[in-house]
Structure 1
Amino acid sequence: MTTPVIELRDVSRRYDAGPPALQDASMTVQAGEAVAILGPSGSGKSTMLNLIAGLDRPDTGTVTVDGVRVDQLGEAGSARYRRSKIGMVFQFFNLLDDLTVADNVVLPAQLSGMGRREANRRAADLLESLGIARHGGAFPGRLSGGQRQRVAVARALMNRPPLLLADEPTGALDSASGEDVSELLRGLNAEGQTIVIVTHDLSLAQSCTKRTVQLVDGRITADMNTRVAR
């Protein structure tokens, strides 16, 4: 049996004196899967995302991603882990407006020590494959929302991470741009990229993934296969 890309075992996280944000959560994600973490605001989605991304630590339980015990990493180790193991796509893109599209995409490679020439080649290939090569010299503020999200996806894939995390990736887009990004995510998964999408949008989950994990009040209440709506 293959080792999962993500393995959460009995993970709990509580903030202050309130109820647990996540309680006794166990989940595995295999290589090549596309999984949606679905739930309303306050359900624990963001907490689970932050634990997988190494941005937070559980109070109890273990978090393992691509063989790395993420819950045991210090600050420097967590930064190295995020550079090498995961790519992240956010609702509001998180691009640097004073850098060109190409320089935004190249940035993760520079931080990881990749040579400039190799990084430029990799960025050019990504921009071409995602249909935005002609915008390489433009600044993000000149692009549409859908185009900016494509730039964000290119940046997330720059270091060839085994895992792509997408946090409400269509939440700031109009319906046409949202469908464009959904199609992009479906295509990436069809090519073998492991993807976890965190969302409250059932239609996005059904469109992009074959499996949905439902969170309610910090607990996993369902883990089910869903049919891709295409």
Structure 2
Amino acid sequence: MTAPIIQIRDVSKSYDLSDAAPPALADFSLEVEAGESLAVLGRSGSGKSTLLNLIAGLDRPSRGTVVVGGVAVHELSEAGLAGFRRERIGMVFQFFNLLDDLSVEDNVLLPAQLAGMHRDEARKRATELLARLGVARHARTFPGLLSGGERQRVAVARALMNRPPLLLADEPTGALDSASAADVRELLTSLNAEGQTIVLVTHDTALAESCATRTIELLDGRLHRDVRNAPVAVAR
């Protein structure tokens, strides 16, 4: 039996070492299977972003273990964490985090360059991704000239560049208008239908309902609800 792609065991995370404030996560455990699309809901301060940062190795637990794809993330050095993120994690952010002085294509190529992918292979991969995500015509355009929905599609292409087993999305529709948000929801649904494992943090219940196969809700740093969703229909 294949091990879950994410295994979090008895994790607590405190930012206030004096214990004057409650922990961001408290005695938290979670398993996510490969191929799942997991939506993480909760109010501001519930621990959603902390959970995502722990999975990505951007933060370390105060206590407990975080294993992603068989890698004990909590034990890695800073150099090890950088390599782990390059090879195994794709990240999509609310405000895109694209470099405005680089073209769309060059933004998408960045992860491949950092990973040492051969230039010809990287350009072929970038061209395929931009075409697949419907933004190939903008390859030479600078991100500031694109709509929010187009920029998020570019950000997803960049996140997928190195074929990561796990895609993390932090409020991917939070900065978008309703039409662009619907576009991104359809995109994430399609990616998951093709087998991409996704963990997304969101306040957007429509996003969770439309593209997540499972939804958890955090409350004060603890798991409050964990439900399996009905199968998602993919638009054709």
Short-chain TM bin: over 0.9
Partner residue of 1:194 out of 182, 192, 197: 197
Q: Distance in 1 between matches of 2:203 and 2:131?
A: 31
* Partner of residue 12, structure 1: 12
Deviations 1:7-36 (A, max 9, x none): 101111011131010011111111111000
Partner AA of 2:84 in structure 1: Y
Change (3 A) 1:228 1:174: farther
Q: Name the SS for the 2:3 alignment partner.
A: coil
How far did residue 118 of structure 1 move? 0.7
Q: Distance in 1 between matches of 2:28 and 2:220?
A: 11
Give the alignment's TM-score, normalised by structure 2.
Answer: 0.96
Deviations 1:42-66 (A, max 9, x none): 0000100000000000011100001
8 A contact 1:101–1:139 mirrored in 2: yes
Q: Name the SS for the 1:134 alignment partner.
A: helix
* Partner of residue 151, structure 2: 148
8 A contact 1:206–1:228 mirrored in 2: no
* Partner of residue 49, structure 1: 52
Q: Distance in 2 between matches of 1:173 and 1:5?
A: 30
Is residue 166 of structure 2 the alignment partner of residue 163 of structure 1?
Answer: yes
8 A contact 1:108–1:158 mirrored in 2: yes
Change (3 A) 1:170 1:32: same
How far did residue 134 of structure 1 move? 0.6
Partner AA of 2:13 in structure 1: R
Q: Distance in 2 between matches of 1:185 and 1:201?
A: 14
Is residue 2 of structure 2 the alignment partner of residue 2 of structure 1?
Answer: yes
* Partner of residue 71, structure 1: 74
Q: Name the SS for the 1:141 alignment partner.
A: helix
Q: Name the SS for the 2:126 alignment partner.
A: helix
Q: Name the SS for the 1:35 alignment partner.
A: strand
Query: Which consecutive unaligned segments of at least 5 residues does structure 2 have?
Result: none
Q: Name the SS for the 2:49 alignment partner.
A: helix
Deviations 1:175-226 (A, max 9, x none): 0000000000000000000000111222211111020011000000111112
How far did residue 229 of structure 1 move? 6.2
* Partner of residue 180, structure 1: 183
Partner AA of 1:3 in structure 2: A
Query: Which consecutive unaligned segments of at least 5 residues does structure 1 have?
Result: none
Is residue 104 of structure 2 the alignment partner of residue 101 of structure 1?
Answer: yes
Q: Distance in 2 between matches of 1:98 and 1:117?
A: 22
Is residue 30 of structure 2 the alignment partner of residue 27 of structure 1?
Answer: yes
Q: Distance in 1 between matches of 2:40 and 2:55?
A: 12
* Partner of residue 216, structure 2: 213
How far did residue 228 of structure 1 move? 5.2
8 A contact 1:207–1:228 mirrored in 2: no
* Partner of residue 132, structure 2: 129
Report sequence identity in percent. 68
Q: Which runs of 4+ in 1 moved over 2 A?
A: 227-230
CA-based RMSD of the aligned residues comes to 0.9
Q: Distance in 1 between matches of 2:150 and 2:204?
A: 21
